[in-house]
């Protein structure tokens, strides 16, 4: 089975409202979301979307930037002003360079430029649905893996791991999102703090290094590759 | 048909304007001449009549009478005026009918109108006149008619006509000639331009080597045409390149799917085939994405997120980012920071530009080679330099590598996989242009690319072979 289908966490509870005017895109998104066990609903105009978003409790919203009637950003701003804090993923065909900042400023939690891979959309949505553990914690644990955030040390079982600062950050990020698919773009944005598409599969190389340090010769691998999408850290069975 | 058009031309109008200006100038000069002449003549008359009047006034009554009669005796042009009046203003002698009340008896010349009386009858004459009261109470008046001064005006008028008419005619003829000449050149240029419009891109505007404004304009336009012709020819090639870069992975995908359909025996087999197909499609998509990204950056007139960017930090991040892949390839990646000066720009885009340069450098440098990322301090601002010990870029290809989609197959052969797009440098060039920086591509023992963040003519791509030719080696030694 494809790993994405085995999302263990209560995804079936998640109700997601997709506000998107383009029928084809909306259908694709809705299908992909229900395939993954979410309960999606769709609104095709800004006004309808705003009403439905107010009407019931959603776990997340997917909002297109350009909508007939009421603009996507206006929808988000209105909701935020009414203290609706549901996580929002903004979709836009507009240039990522300018629009991303505006999207986030309006109250969106993440931004995805069209056209996008559906895997990217669901991974980002899942990240929004599962906000990571409070950053106050000083020790992260996933299975045998332990990360001491104060001492800046890592160990798997009894074996100490010698990590470079960036590898430490990478592992930190992945451990907070255990069992969650993380795309290359997400890792670049969050761990390296830069938004760009490298011409070489650099993220894979960095993950490869981390993997070699993490998994001893006879140990079960902890970082899975999710083909066509990204990577996932999980506790070995 | 040509002449009326020529007469409407700007050249002709300018000639007319200049001729008009010359005429106005002439008129002004004539007026000055007229005024000066009349002033001179008046002052001469004034001096003469004042002297005569004072002489007559000072002499005995008999001498005065004699002088006045003598004075009036020989006057064929009827310009002389003289008279003697008793203290009540009654005429005693002379050719002035009455004494004008307005004439001051001060011995100075004044302009006035005197009624002349002689054998021809009575006539009012404009005159200069002097009046003096004698000790006996009689009044002596001596004057001179100045209507004759109109002769001067007539002479001047004739001068003007003789001067202006030929000058204006000459101006008209010259203007028409110049205009026809200019018209003919414009016509030639129009003919050439319509050839260019109809697709003859190699056609140029005619140049006469006269260095006149029209010639200089033609030279500028020709230079522009050259650039346009080059761009159009380059664009024509781009279509083929795009098709090639997208078709290659697509062909592979097709073959994979075809083989998979024939030979897959299990779901696992089929999934493996699908995965390979998806990877191939991703590769085609990456080409399109990169192309759109360049277009997006190209179309931005200004930066959205401008900030002070710490270049040292950016370069460190890029170096760290590429360190593993360089190490895997056996390429030494070195970082040299010379300055801490920040630049104004978009942090992500500058990172992207440097990352692309380093990406290329690592990609094309063989195992055992070296890539240097340096932040140099120069007088006019910081310079980002990425130098490698790879095969370099041939001089004739340097400009082309910056063009969208150029694949330098010969010297920097495509390395297969997802690594062979010639888009990296185009992207860098677009980002550099957006920032108003300069991009310098040089090659000697390896490839050297510099982003010059300082002042200067922005947005230019420079190719400086000599200055940087030995740079990678020199830097490696430092």
Sort out which chain A residues have CB atoms less than 8 A from B430's CB and list them.
none
Pairing of strands A223-226, A15-19: unpaired
pLDDT of residue B20: 85
Show the domains of chain A with their CATH numbers: 3-129 (3.40.50.2300), 139-233 (1.10.10.10)
Please measure the distance between the N-terminal and C-terminal CA atoms of chain A and give it in whole angstroms: 17
Q: Is it the case that residue B419 has pLDDT exceeding 50? A: no
Strand partners, A148: A139, A153
To probe the interface with A, which of B274, B302, B304, B307 has the most A CB atoms within 10 Å? Answer: B304
Answer whether residue B202 shows pLDDT above 70: yes
Give residue B403's pLDDT band: very low, low, confident or very high (50, 70, 90): low
Residue B261 distance to chain A (closest CA, Å): 20
Nearest CB to A202: which of B305, B321, B348?
A: B321
B347: chain A residues, CB-CB within 8 Å: 194
Q: Give me the mean pLDDT over the A122-141 stretch.
A: 82
d(CA A92, CA B170): 71
User: Least CB-CB distance to B304: which of A101, A209, A227?
Assistant: A101
Length of chain A: 237
Residue range B2-11, pLDDT digits in tens: 556 666 777 7
pLDDT at residue B405 is higher than 80? no
* A29-48 residue pLDDT tens: 999 999 888 999 999 999 99
> What is the distance in angstroms between the Cα of B296 and the nearest Cα belonging to chain A?
7
Q: What pLDDT is recorded for position A2?
A: 41
Q: How far is B442 from chain A (nearest CA, A)?
A: 22
User: Which of A101, A191, A200 has the highest number of chain B CBs within 10 A, making it the mutation to test binding with B?
Assistant: A200
- A227: closest chain B residue by CA: B275
Contact A197 B297 (CB under 8 A): no
Whether A105 contacts chain B with CB within 8 A: no
The CATH number for B1-203, chosen from 2.60.120, 3.30.450, 2.40.50, 3.40.50, is: 3.30.450
Q: B219-297 has which CATH code?
A: 1.10.287.130
Q: Does the pLDDT value for residue B234 go beyond 80?
A: no
pLDDT at A143 over 50: yes
Strand partners, A40: A16
**pLDDT-wise least confident of A61-70, A210-219, B416-425:** B416-425
Which helix (H) or strand (E) segment holds residue A113: the answer is strand A110-113
pTM of the model: 0.62
Task: Quick: pLDDT tens for B83-109.
Answer: 888 888 888 888 888 888 888 888 888
For B271-321, write each residue's pLDDT tens digit: 889 888 988 888 788 777 777 777 777 777 666 667 888 999 999 999 999
**Of the ranges A198-202, A215-219, B45-49, which one carries the lowest mean pLDDT score?**
A198-202
Q: What is the mean pLDDT of residues B255-283?
A: 88
Question: CATH topology of B1-203 equal to that of B301-477?
Answer: no
Using the Cβ of A194 and the Cβ atoms of chain B, whether some distance falls under 8 Å is answered with yes
Average the pLDDT over each of A42-46, A77-81, B405-409, B432-436 and give the range with the smallest value.
Answer: B405-409
Instruction: Quickly count: other Cβ atoms within 10 Å of residue B306's Cβ.
Output: 12
Q: Where are the domains of chain B?
A: 1-203, 219-297, 301-477
Q: Cβ separation of B355 and A195 shorter than 8 Å?
A: no
B301-477: CATH topology:
Heat Shock Protein 90 (3.30.565)
| pLDDT of amino acid A233 | 94
pLDDT at A65 over 80: yes
CA distance A26 to chain B (A): 21
Report residue A137's pLDDT band, with 50, 70 and 90 as the boundaries.
confident
pLDDT band of residue B47 (cuts 50, 70, 90) is: very high
Q: Residue B275 is nearest to which of A98, A201, A227, comparing CB atoms?
A: A227
- Is the pLDDT score of A5 beyond 80? no
**B401 vs B126: which has the higher pLDDT:** B126
From chain B, pick out residues whose CB is under 8 angstroms from the CB of A167: none
The pLDDT-based confidence of B396 (bands split at 50, 70, 90) is low
């Amino acid at each position: 089975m494809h790993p994405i289908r085995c999302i263990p966490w209560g995804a079936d509870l998640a109700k997601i409202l997709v506000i998107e005017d383009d029928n084809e895109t909306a259908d694709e998104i809705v299908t992909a979301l229900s395939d993954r066990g979410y309960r999606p609903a769709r609104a095709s105009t800004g006004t309808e979307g705003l009403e439905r978003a107010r009407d019931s409790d959603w776990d997340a919203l997917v909002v297109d930037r350009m909508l007939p009637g009421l603009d996507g950003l206006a929808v988000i701003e209105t909701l935020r002003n009414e203290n609706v804090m549901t996580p929002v993923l903004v979709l836009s065909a507009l240039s990522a360079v300018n629009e991303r900042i505006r999207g986030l400023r309006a109250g969106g939690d993440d931004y995805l430029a069209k056209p996008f891979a559906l895997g990217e959309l669901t991974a980002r949505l899942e990240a929004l649905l599962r906000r990571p553990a409070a950053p106050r914690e000083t020790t992260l644990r996933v299975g045998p893996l332990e990360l001491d955030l104060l001492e800046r040390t890592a160990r798997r079982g009894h074996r100490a791991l010698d990590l470079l600062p960036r590898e430490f950050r990478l592992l930190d990020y992945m451990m907070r999102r255990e069992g969650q698919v993380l795309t290359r773009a997400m890792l670049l944005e969050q761990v390296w703090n830069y938004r760009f598409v490298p011409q070489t599969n650099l993220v894979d190389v960095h993950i490869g290094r981390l993997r070699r340090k993490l998994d001893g010769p006879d140990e079960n691998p902890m970082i899975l590759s999710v083909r066509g999408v990204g990577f996932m850290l999980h506790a070995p069975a | 048909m040509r002449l009326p058009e020529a007469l409407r031309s700007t050249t002709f109008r300018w000639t007319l304007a200049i001729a008009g200006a010359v005429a106005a100038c002439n008129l002004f000069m004539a007026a000055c001449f007229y005024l000066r002449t009349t002033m001179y003549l008046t002052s001469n008359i004034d001096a003469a009549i004042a002297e005569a009047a004072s002489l007559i006034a000072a002499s005995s009554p008999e001498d005065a009478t004699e002088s006045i009669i003598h004075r009036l005796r020989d006057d064929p042009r009827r310009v002389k005026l003289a008279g003697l009046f008793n203290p009540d203003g009654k005429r005693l002698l002379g050719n002035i009918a009455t004494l004008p009340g307005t004439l001051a008896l001060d011995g100075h010349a004044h302009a006035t109108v005197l009624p002349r009386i002689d054998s021809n009858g009575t006539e009012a004459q404009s005159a200069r006149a002097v009046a003096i009261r004698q000790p006996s109470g009689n009044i002596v008046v001596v004057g001179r008619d100045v209507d004759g001064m109109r002769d001067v005006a007539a002479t001047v008028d004739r001068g003007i006509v003789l001067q202006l008419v030929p000058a204006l005619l000459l101006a008209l003829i010259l203007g028409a000639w110049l205009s026809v000449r200019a018209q003919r050149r414009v016509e030639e240029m129009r003919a050439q331009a319509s050839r260019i419009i109809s697709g003859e891109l190699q056609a140029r505007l005619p140049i006469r080597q006269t260095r006149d404004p029209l010639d200089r304009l033609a030279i500028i336009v020709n230079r522009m045409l050259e650039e346009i012709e080059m761009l159009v020819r380059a664009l024509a090639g781009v279509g083929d390149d795009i098709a090639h870069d997208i078709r290659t992975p697509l062909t592979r995908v097709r073959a994979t799917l075809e083989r998979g359909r024939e030979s897959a025996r299990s779901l696992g087999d089929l999934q493996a085939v699908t995965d390979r197909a998806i990877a191939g499609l991703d590769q085609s998509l990456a080409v399109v994405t990169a192309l759109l990204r360049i277009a997006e950056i190209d179309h931005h007139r200004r930066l959205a997120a401008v900030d002070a960017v710490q270049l040292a930090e950016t370069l460190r991040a890029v170096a760290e980012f590429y360190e593993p892949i360089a190490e895997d390839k056996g390429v030494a990646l070195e970082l040299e920071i010379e300055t801490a000066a920040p630049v104004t720009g978009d942090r992500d885009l500058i990172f992207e530009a440097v990352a692309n340069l380093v990406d290329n450098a690592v990609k094309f440098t063989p195992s055992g080679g070296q890539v240097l990322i340096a932040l140099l301090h120069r007088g006019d601002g910081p310079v980002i330099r990425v130098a490698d010990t790879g095969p370099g870029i041939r001089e004739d290809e340097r400009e082309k590598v910056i063009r969208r989609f150029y694949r330098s197959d010969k010297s920097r052969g495509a390395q297969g996989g997802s690594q062979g797009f010639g888009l990296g440098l185009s992207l860098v060039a677009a980002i550099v242009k957006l920032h108003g920086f300069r991009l310098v591509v040089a090659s000697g023992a390896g490839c050297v690319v510099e982003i010059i963040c300082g002042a200067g003519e922005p947005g230019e791509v420079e190719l400086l072979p000599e200055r940087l030719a030995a740079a990678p080696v020199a830097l490696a030694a430092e």
